Each structure stands twice: as C-alpha cells, then as structure tokens.
C-alpha cells in the first residue's frame, strides 16, 4: 500500500500517524513538492486536485487525508479507530469536518504562510486558530480524547496542525488542556512524530 | 427528531434535502439567527460552537452538517445513501471534506459576504470558488453523481452552496456539467428547494 507523501505535510502526517498507531504498513512514495510534482502528471492522474496525500491500495486510489483515514480505519485498523454504528461514526465525523474546515483554515493556514510563504490572510487564520483552540480547550476539559472516550481517527485528523501551531506563530501557552491531550497522543504505543512535532 | 434550523442556511438545507429525498421525517425548530440565538444558551448548551444545524434524536445531539448527514445516512436512509464498505465510505468521505473545506470557503464564504455582510476576503472566496467549480466540472464530465454512480449524501453535502453560487456573485455560466448535475439533483423524487435554489 503506497502513500504519496511529503514529510513536512501535516495532512500526510495524519495518515502516517494512524498507520503507526494501528500497525498498518505503508510504503512511502516521496513527492517533489518544492519542484511542483504534485501539480503535474503523473500525480494529477492520480489526484486531479494536485494535492497530497494520495493513497494507492491495489486498484484503490484515494485523495483527501480524512477520506484516507476513513478507508484505513474501516478496512484495516479496526472498530476502535473508526466505529461502524451510526452514532459512533457521526461522532467521529464531527471532528473530520473540524479537521477539514477550522483546523485547515486556522492553524494549518497560518503555518502555510509562515513556513511555505503562501499568500493567505494570516490575521484571519490566527483568528480562526484562536477560536478552534478555545473550543478544543473547552472540549478537552471534560474529555481525554476527541471522540468516544478513546483514541480514534478523529485524534489523528486534528492532532498534526494543532501540534504544529507554533510553526504558524500560534502559541499553546494558554491552552493547557490541549497541551495535555498532545502529550496523551504522544504517549500512545507506536506514536511517530514529524519535524516540528 | 428535531433539526435546529435556519431556512436561509445552506448547511441546514443539506440535512433537509437528504431527509426529503430519503423520506426521513424531521421536526424543524427555527432558530432566531438574526437575533443571535445560535450564539447563546440554550443553543450553545446543545452546540458549544454556536452554529447551525444541530440534530436532536432522543438523547443523540449532533453538530456539523456533514456529521448529521452521516448519522441519518447510516441510521435511517439506507446503504444507497451511505455505503458501509470501506471503499464506498471513503469515496463519499472525499466529498464530505470537499463540502467542509473548498465549498464552505469558496462559494459558501462568497455568499456569506454578499448576503449576510460577513467580513471575509471576498476575492479569496471567489478564487477558491473558481478552483472547486473547475474541479467539479471536470469530475462531472465523466460522472453523473459525485460518488459511486448514484445519488449519495455526497451530493447532498455539496449541492446547496454550489446551487447558491449566484448569491455570492459566482456565475455557473461556464460550468455546463455542474448545471446539468444541479438539474439531475432537482429531478430526484422528493427533492425540496430552499430560497435561492
């Protein structure tokens, strides 16, 4: 099973993190992001969106880090990582939306500006980062994990860009519950980091 | 089953649309959005995020339109709307991320500026709208539906803010495949619209 990957991408790291925690073997295929290989064929034949990560599992080709987490969770990682009952599935799904929306456009976007020179509204990204970190802080004051009282793909989806907040100029000093959750994730058996985490 | 609802919200409409198409009965509970009721208790007791929609089904309380679609799909609407196999689930999930990310921050954000006076970067929203409409146009040139060759919750998640693009100043004139898909959705048995669609 191949993951078309970029070491510095938090979205790719979501997948590497689940794979490490759930004992799923991945062959990493590095993509020359700085050289723009993700915007050209053959990568765009796999993913017309010109983005990373992409998963290839035999004939299966999937774009979008959340969708890849769902696939690995449902097919390989077991019910503990992605439950199949409607309420469990929807509870995890709330956080996959959060990862694609508030996290991506908050701490994720702020980091794109600072680390990769993207032309985005940094002030807007920091406002969004503050809002979502405040909501996370409130949620984690009463919950050890994002969903279902145990680690799931929800944690894998939200963790990377939160743990990388400082690379977008967002300190976690005022968010002790978030920092404690980061420490709990880091203490999970099999945990792997990435540069900056 | 109660949907805390706003008629003019495309996110609430996603849920009303699936319910209508799949024959699920919802009791609509209008929330005084213009009066800010979504930002205060008792609404924030249901959803600390201060957002709409919220679904209440007995003891179940869910925020986030995509998560609500997953819940209704998995619990009430049947496999045709949300498959349970890993690949089918992940294929649909790709489009739920698209709804939460590119659609929300593209045509959705442009409409928030024009229709509700939100202070957001309109030029950025229009750039994102053009990109995602181009990708949709390309996808729909070879597919009648977003996922799995039949209507699923993926179509319900993406449809509203695409069909409302003109309310954010984005014309669909150059996107004939997108317009044909909109017509196909509108022709589904049970279809309901909303103001502007």
Cβ contact (<8 Å) for B66 and A98? no
pLDDT at residue A151, rounded to an integer:
98
Task: Tell me if residue B155 falls in helix, strand or coil.
Answer: helix
For A67-92, how does the pLDDT look when each residue is reduced to its tens digit (9 = 90+)?
A: 999 999 999 999 999 999 999 999 99
Cβ contact (<8 Å) for A96 and B96? yes
Q: Do B58 and B113 share a domain, yes or no? A: no
* Res. B151 pLDDT band, cuts 50 70 90: very high
Which of B71, B100, B121 has the CB atom closest to A100's CB atom? Answer: B100
DSSP state of B87: H
Residues with pLDDT less than 70, chain A: none
**A194 located within any domain:** no
* Res. B68 pLDDT band, cuts 50 70 90: very high
**B10 located within any domain:** yes
Omega before B19 within 30 of 0, i.e. cis: no
Q: Do A126 and A168 share a domain, yes or no? A: yes
Distance CA B9, CA B12 (A): 5
Q: Which of B17, B44, B77 is the last residue of a domain?
A: B77
Both structure tokens of B125: 């929203």
For residues B64-72, give the mean pLDDT. 98
Q: Do B125 and B156 share a domain, yes or no? A: yes
Q: B33-42: buried (b, 16+ CB within 10 Å) or exposed (e) per residue?
A: beeebbeeee
**A197 located within any domain:** no
Q: Which of B26, B55, B77 is the last residue of a domain?
A: B77
Which of A90, A104, A139 has the CB atom closest to B71's CB atom? Answer: A90
* Res. B40 pLDDT band, cuts 50 70 90: very high
Cβ contact (<8 Å) for A96 and B101? no
Residue of A nearest to B124 (CA): A120
pLDDT at residue B93, rounded to an integer:
98
Interaxial angle between packed helices B86-98 and B153-163, expressed in degrees from 0 to 180 and rounded to the nearest 10: 10
**A140-144, B33-37, B150-154: least confidently modelled range:** B33-37
Q: Where are the alpha helices (DSSP H) in B120-192?
A: 122-140, 153-163, 176-186
* pLDDT, averaged across chain B: 97
Q: What's the CATH code of the domain at A110?
A: 1.20.1050.10
pLDDT at residue A70, rounded to an integer:
98
Q: What's the CATH code of the domain at B20?
A: 3.40.30.10
**B191 located within any domain:** no
Q: Chain A within 8 Å of B184 (Cβ-Cβ)?
A: no
Q: Do B103 and B158 share a domain, yes or no? A: yes
pLDDT at residue B194, rounded to an integer:
98
For B73-95, how does the pLDDT look when each residue is reduced to its tens digit (9 = 90+)?
A: 999 999 999 999 999 999 999 99
Q: Which of B19, B54, B77 is the last residue of a domain?
A: B77
Distance CA A43, CA A49 (A): 9
pLDDT at residue B189, rounded to an integer:
98
Distance CA B183, CA A197 (A): 47
Cβ contact (<8 Å) for A67 and B104? no
* Res. B69 pLDDT band, cuts 50 70 90: very high
Taking the CA of residue B189 and the nearest CA in chain A, the distance in Å comes to 25
Question: Dihedral angle at the C-alpha atoms of B52, B147, A71, A35, nearest 10 degrees?
Answer: -100
Residues in CB range of B188: below 8 A, 6 or more apart: B21, B151
Residue of A nearest to B55 (CA): A90
pLDDT at residue A178, rounded to an integer:
98
Tell me the residue range of the domain where B125 lies: 86-186
Cβ contact (<8 Å) for A71 and B62? no
Which of A62, A63, A93 has the CB atom closest to B66's CB atom? Answer: A93
Cβ contact (<8 Å) for A67 and B91? yes
Cβ(B50)–Cβ(B39) below 8 Å:
yes
Q: Do A99 and A54 share a domain, yes or no? A: no
**B194 located within any domain:** no
pLDDT at residue B32, rounded to an integer:
95
Largest pairwise CA distance in chain A: 47
* Structural domain count, chain A: 2
pLDDT at residue A18, rounded to an integer:
98
Which of A75, A90, A104 has the CB atom closest to B70's CB atom? Answer: A90
């Amino acid at each position: 099973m191949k993951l078309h990957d970029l070491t510095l991408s938090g979205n790719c790291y979501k997948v590497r993190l689940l794979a490490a925690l759930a004992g799923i073997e991945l062959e990493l295929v590095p993509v020359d992001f700085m050289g723009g290989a993700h915007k050209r064929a053959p990568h765009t034949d796999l993913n017309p969106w010109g983005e990373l990560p992409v998963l290839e599992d035999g004939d299966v080709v999937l774009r979008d880090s959340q969708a890849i987490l769902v696939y690995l969770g449902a097919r390989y990682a077991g019910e503990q990582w992605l439950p199949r009952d409607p309420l469990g599935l929807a509870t995890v799904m709330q956080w996959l939306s959060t990862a694609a929306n508030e996290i991506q456009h908050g701490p994720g976007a702020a980091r794109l500006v600072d680390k990769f020179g993207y032309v985005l509204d940094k002030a807007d990204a920091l406002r969004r980062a503050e809002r979502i970190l405040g909501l996370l802080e409130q949620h984690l004051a009463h919950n050890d994990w994002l969903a279902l009282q145990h680690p799931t793909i929800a944690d894998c989806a939200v963790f990377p860009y939160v743990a990388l907040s400082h690379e977008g100029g967002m300190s976690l000093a005022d968010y002790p519950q978030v920092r404690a959750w980061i420490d709990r994730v880091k203490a999970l058996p099999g945990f792997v980091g990435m540069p900056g985490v």
